[in-house]
Amino acid sequence: MRRWSIALGTVLLLVVGLLATTTAAASRPATGRVPAGQAAVAHTVGYDKYSVILDGEREFLWAGEFHYWRLPSPDLWRDVLQKMKAAGFNATSIYFHWGYHSPEPGVYDFTGVRDVDKLLDIAAEVGIYVIARPGPYIHAETSSGGFPSWLKLQTGVARSDAPDYLAAAKDWLHRIDTIIARHQYTNGTGTVLAYQIENEFYLDRPTYMQALIDQARADGITVPTIGNQERWTTGVGAVDLPGTRDEYPNGFSCPDDGWGPLPTLTRPAGAENKPLATWEYGSGSIDEGGHGFDACRQRTNEQYERVFFKNLIGQGETVANFYMAFGGTSWGWLPWGRYVYSSYDYAAPIDESRRLGPKYDEMKRLGYLVRAVAPLAKTDPGILGQAPSNPAVNAMVRRNPDTGTQAIVLRHADHTSKATATTTIGLSTDDGAYPTVPQQGTIRLAGRDSKLLLADHDLGASHLVYSTSELLTHVTTDRDVAVLYGRSGESGESVLRFSSQPQVAVQSGTAQSSWDPTRRDLRLNYSHADGAPVRVLISGGGLARPLQLILTSDADSAQYWRQGTALIRGPQLVRTAKTTGGTLALTGDTTTATDLEVWAPAASAISWNGAAVPTSQTAAGSRLGSVGGPVAIGALPALNWRYQGDTAEAQTSYDDSTWARALERTATINHGNTWYRGHFAGVGAETSTSITVWTGKSGTYAVWLNGTYLGGGEGGPEAVSASFPIPAGVTRAGQDNVLAVLVDNTGHDEMFVGSDVETHKNPRGLTVATVAGSAATIDWRIQGAATLDKVRGPMNTGGLGGERAGWSLPGYPDTGWPGVTLPHRPGQPGIGWYRSTVDLALPAGHDVPLGVSFEGLPDRALLFVNGWQFGRAGGGPQRVFPIPPGILDPNGRNSLAVAVWSLNGSTAGLGPVKLVPLGNAKTSLTVSKVPAPSYDPALFPRPVAPSSPVSVSDLPFLAEANGWGPVERNKSVGESQPGDGRTLSLRGQTFTKGLGMHSAGDVSLYTGGRCTTFTATVGIDDEANAPGSATFTVVADGLPVATTGVLTRASAAQVLSADVTGARQVDLVVADGGDGAQQDHADWADARLVCGTSVGQPPPRAGHTYFLANANSGKYADVYQGSGADEAPIVQYLGTGQPNQRWRIGDAGGGAVSLTSVHSGRCLDVWHGSPDDGAPIIQWGCSGGPNQKWTFRPAGDGTWTVASANTAKCLDVSASSTADDAKLVQNTCTGAAAQRWRLVLLS
């Protein structure tokens, strides 16, 4: 992909030479997997100094980069590849992302949105070659450059033959190679045409390169190997088809429309007899400067494509891969943490919403040219008969030595010039010398322009001497049909050679013809104009068949499509064409009602998207009909929002006992937001805290002490340090103090090109924290993502409390959250969540890309659509986030969740957010919704429910939101800062316990079904002034169970009691009384819950799911490596929340229970029913046998011993170990800590 600070890249084309040793083939290209009972037909891939040669025919490889992992809607892979093929690309280059497929060492996922087999099948179906680029390192502006995050823990040097790295890399390659090998062109089973070794590898490590080549060959890779760095042309580690350095002439920022140098391409030393190839050439740019992709699209617009890409052809290049053809979205935590944000639009010809525009049209003109003019695949430098008459014009000439075809590339000598230049040139061809071309008028270069003119070239049965118009394409029906174009308002001249004078019929527009009997030349002169094509039919003159010329403008040429032997005019896109029984069946898209004009051999009838189209024959040899456009979609539904605060982790009372202590390990590899809570003994003399964080360029961090917000700030690409004063009275002498730090990690660093410094191992998260005035050790705990979602994968979410609780998912029960209107300003820093659902009913048979638009960016926000994180607002210029169909359901209910991170109270909250249409096309495309989990309460752990009696102010909050300042414990709400309230006071009566809130406010409490009654004395605090008023509501599991009327400053305090029996969550909601949210200082005085037995005492109940946490180590009973096999050992492991740590209780009779792994469905079992001490504990298919029955006995401290009903021996950790992966065994019961287990109720 693109380089950092250097113009290197990874452009791939699909084809390169093979070792020239494959069986001859009957046809090409291959069409994919071979039907049962049929033998595959092998193909040859060779090359010489001119081009790639496939089955004996030269191929000009015109490729575009596409990353399936940036478009997690598999049906849209077909959409993008069809659009590429329709634009003239014959190949696509694809990076395969190791980290996207491997969440853990040895664990790989090639299903669903990671189904590479499906991707390659679609490529073969579409008929486009594939250049496979599996790394192991890919760069690509993605986290760790495509390395899995766990690779950071290795001690060996990456991208070397260090044993640990090389073993992991080979394992990855073996997994992906096995799939790629099934789809190779050489085998006749697919369209994979080339295989890249490493990526932009500039280090001198030949044995490492050779090891990767040997691995590929051992895995069955038979196509040619390629490389995008000149080093690997000869010797150990050499590839079959080396390319030039990757070229990104305009760099990677878009401050203006300035252009970089025009590259001069040379073959690497040692590759003189191989085609000139650039495996990455920038079609657009990333946006390092934050100017937005609209600016990048202007900087690398269609003029850039004309000048820079025709320059490639002018230098004889026949292998070019353009990075990107479609960029897509770096969804979730895929982005590299330095210069990229969610959009990876790249200013590509196909934009992030899959729309087509002027850049696509120009790329199509070029792609059609190299497809239509086969002699371009073999050219030598040529010369003009006469240099340009204007020295401000530069000319490059290529000539095919076999056919004599010449390609003349004209541009300004200063390629950046915006001036207008006119010129003539002289030609020396096999048809004779033409000292002044054109013979009438001049060639015009208006502004940044380049023209590629042909001379001495056959158009089917006709011979073109030269033309000052550019060729789009030509086909043969009952006549030869050629489309030539020029800029609107410019003149054109075309000269054709005949054996005798032909007949010329001007069918539309104006053209002058003249006949030179000496040369036997017919000269046509005409003007190009938008909306006014000139059509000329030439017959006779010794032609085997007539020649139909269509002379149009470059803008109007975008209406023409080439599909196989058919030429089509009219639709916005033609995807496929297939002739059956005289009917040409076309599929594609329309954005408006349009003509449908078709030139095709043996086609007497036309259908469009399955419907017959009435047509009539035209004088131009076409069939002409019309097709309809899309239905207007109308206004999209407005979004209604609910809000819930989410900074409970900052509070002292938050229970972090299940969090990991492995700071160094976890801080290094986490994706996304990560919480840290440090406990220390206070002395009361603490004055400030200092931290150092690594976040990535657009990351953030925030710090709280004992629930008081100290401050936060922007991170950076390197370590950032900051200090914060501690206000007086915040620390607690002689007590536990909690320093809470939230860090927004924005993707891991890449391993920069040309350097052996392992920057991908740079840390992420909190690395240093100190408290001035205290010598106490800080005991750190950390909580990152708890990835329970195997479909969206580990890069989708981070460690926010709402993410860990499932708030991002569709179906989360948010009915207890108060409704809010955007813009909404909660008035305090921290995290807040907004959720909305919207029902869509877009017209069937339409492709209507939608985006989520933010009006006014928050400090930071994560956008989740149906559970998929598809936008990270803030830290970049992006305000509209496209959501692809398949992720968004165009005909159903959709869930939107926005997690907002506010660094200060004045900017807290969220401005207007709405759905916006980004296009509308009537289409043949069908897209299925991507299956992915909705909210499942069984998968999201909750805190331990409270004991009875309990004051609400002593409980942790699941979430909190407040209309002014923070929710206060045992104080009134006061002013905007934590702890600035007064003693709770209602009509002169004071209270020592309770909550101080403000409308609109909501506090969520986890009760776990163990509580029966809530009581509080409620009212407007005495500190409030008029017009304070509010209502108080108790919500149990989303249902209001008690509420007051409007209470004012003058109202008597009211005792509010609610039955919350069986409720798992209770919300205390304060709403405005109707006179505006001023002075609504709402007190829940003496708020109490009456609950069941104390924590840990209720026995495990059948049908419920638990974690089993060991009292000695704090680690969880775990199925080793998530195995699903019988006899897999049970071990202890750091709490991850994964299903292989979740155990469902079943009633086994006689007071015993069974424990079934949620992950595997197998039961906890004593190996072979052994009676011995030390017998291993395993999982086994549930049989109900005595060795699968267990009894729980209270240990008296809130923990339990778990004994086998068969042997009466206790579940134990071998040797009382505290290490991860220590095995569980049975031993004689002693009551030791390693035999005691804490139950964490999940559901």
Annotated catalytic residues are 200, 280
Residues 6+ apart with CB under 8 A from 497: 431, 463, 465, 519, 520, 521, 522
Tokens 């430098």 identify what position?
381
Spell out where 7-157 has E strands.
Answer: 45-47, 52-54, 57-59, 61-66, 91-95, 129-133
**What stretches of 193-301 show up as alpha helix (H) in DSSP?**
206-218, 293-299
Q: How many CB atoms lie within 10 A of CB 664?
A: 11
871: which strand partners? 863
User: Strand, coil or helix: what is 320?
Assistant: strand
- List the structure tokens of 382: 């040529």
Cα–Cα distance for residue pair 937/923, rounded to 1 Å: 39
| Cα atoms found within 13 Å of the Cα of residue 998, Cβ hemisphere only | 27
Burial class of 21 by CB neighbour count within 10 A (0 to 12, 13 to 18, 19+): exposed
Cα–Cα distance for residue pair 1083/989, rounded to 1 Å: 12
CA distance readout (Å), 562 to 51, 87, 202, 1071, 1167: 23, 9, 40, 63, 67
CA distance readout (Å), 489 to 529, 530, 531, 1043: 6, 8, 11, 75
User: Strand, coil or helix: what is 984?
Assistant: strand
Cα–Cα distance for residue pair 238/271, rounded to 1 Å: 11
Angle formed by the axes of helices 116-126 and 74-86, to 10°? Answer: 30
Q: Indicate the pairing of strand 406-412 with strand 432-437.
A: unpaired
Phi/psi at 1047 (nearest 5 deg)? -110, 135
- List the structure tokens of 680: 């220390």
Cα–Cα distance for residue pair 1007/943, rounded to 1 Å: 9
User: Strand, coil or helix: what is 824?
Assistant: strand
* Type of residue found at 166: L
Contact 925, 847 (CB under 8 A): yes
**What stretches of 336-416 show up as alpha helix (H) in DSSP?**
358-372
740: which strand partners? 677, 704
- Tell which residue, 971, 1047, 1061, has the closest CA to residue 1014: 1061
User: How many residues are recorded in the chain?
Assistant: 1243
- Tell which residue, 748, 659, 739, 736, has the closest CA to residue 691: 739
Helix (H) or strand (E) holding 496: strand 491-497
Cα–Cα distance for residue pair 575/447, rounded to 1 Å: 33
CA distance readout (Å), 425 to 438, 834, 1099, 1161: 7, 66, 94, 79
Buried b (16+ CB within 10 A) or exposed e, 66-80: bbbbbbbbbbbbbbb
* Type of residue found at 942: R
Cα–Cα distance for residue pair 907/904, rounded to 1 Å: 6
Helix (H) or strand (E) holding 115: none
| Cα atoms found within 13 Å of the Cα of residue 738, Cβ hemisphere only | 23
- Tell which residue, 911, 908, 711, has the closest CA to residue 826: 908
Q: How many CB atoms lie within 10 A of CB 530?
A: 13
* Type of residue found at 503: Q
